Amino acid sequence: MSNPAVSSSSIIGHLDLDAFFAAVEQLERPELATVPLVVGGDPQGRGVVATANYEARRFGVRSAMSCAEALRRCPHAVFLRPDHARYRRVSRTVWEAVREVVPTVERTGLDEGYLQLEEVAADVREARAVGEAVQAAVRGATGLTCSLGIASTKVVAKVASDRRKPGGLVVVLPGREAAFLAPLDVRVLPGVGPRSAERLRAAGIERAGALAALDDDALTAVLPGKIGRLLRDRARGIDARRLELASENVSISQEETFARDVSDRERLHDELRGMAVRLAERLARGRQVARTVSTKLRYPDFSTRTRSTTLPVGTDDAARIGELACTLLERALAERPGALRLVGVTVSKLETAVQLTFVEP
């Protein structure tokens, strides 16, 4: 086995707050920690689970499940509607605390992100101590727990952060990345979605190690093209991505689940334009602009499609965001027509708005 003190040129941490929305609710109402708690939509309607605490997860409740199904699985669960403004405030406090320990981070959401640990740790042994300090800082600032994975690559760090929840810390030593991933289900690899997993399973490939072992011909037969090579690299622990520091990869989104499926295009466009207005207001308050606009569609069978476009220059203009969102909706519906149970808009690749001041000569 590799020596834990062996230096690595790249030491990356992945931080994931444990059941974040539910954990924030439990801060204000500690009695909820001992009962199944589901944060999401109306269980009597068509809402979706945003997150569930670990008590609810024991009954098979999980994120993205319909709240009606969550209620069937756990009839005595407490259901709460999300308070996104409060979650954003707590998230800011979390990341301020993290940056006190590790200055360079890439947030990928309110509740997760990557840490550039080689800045503050010479090797993985020191990185473990830094990770413990990060967990203590988050707990001290907010009362929340987080799980951490530490490895030489993003993909391995992300998988590691999910292996010992809640509150765990998993370190994968340099040179042990492929061995760590090998026994795990291929679905744990970022990028392996339902279709890729189905094709892999049909070929008898269920573990990351089996995917990693495929030669080029066998890989092409199962997953042709760039995606196959990318996923095989990830199964081997290979990932050249570094932290994205030019602009944090945090997104802002709005979505609506309808009481009844909607096929009327005018209503769908109105919904998207209304969301665009609210997103533009949030961008303006944060003095930010967005370069990427995405539209999300969910069909009655729960299949979901997302279409995105990226602009050369960021915008916070509601009309422009709405126009792009509607165009993306039409593109998706041209590929698969039908009524929708949910639509949403997301803006991402956020940047600080540049304010120009003109001075008379």
The number of residues making up the chain comes to 361
Residue 251 · residue 348 · CB < 8 Å: yes
Buried b (16+ CB within 10 A) or exposed e, 147-167: bbbbbbbbbbbbbbbeeebee
Catalytic residue (one of 25, 112, 248, 271): 112
The Cα–Cα gap between 282 and 288 comes to 8
DSSP states of 239-254: -------SS----EEE
Phi-psi map region of 54: left, alpha, beta (phi>0 left; psi -120 to 50 alpha):
alpha
3-state secondary structure of 261: strand
Active site residue 112: yes
**Which single residue is written with the structure tokens 């945003």?**
50
The Cα–Cα gap between 169 and 13 comes to 10
Q: Report the catalytic residues.
A: 112
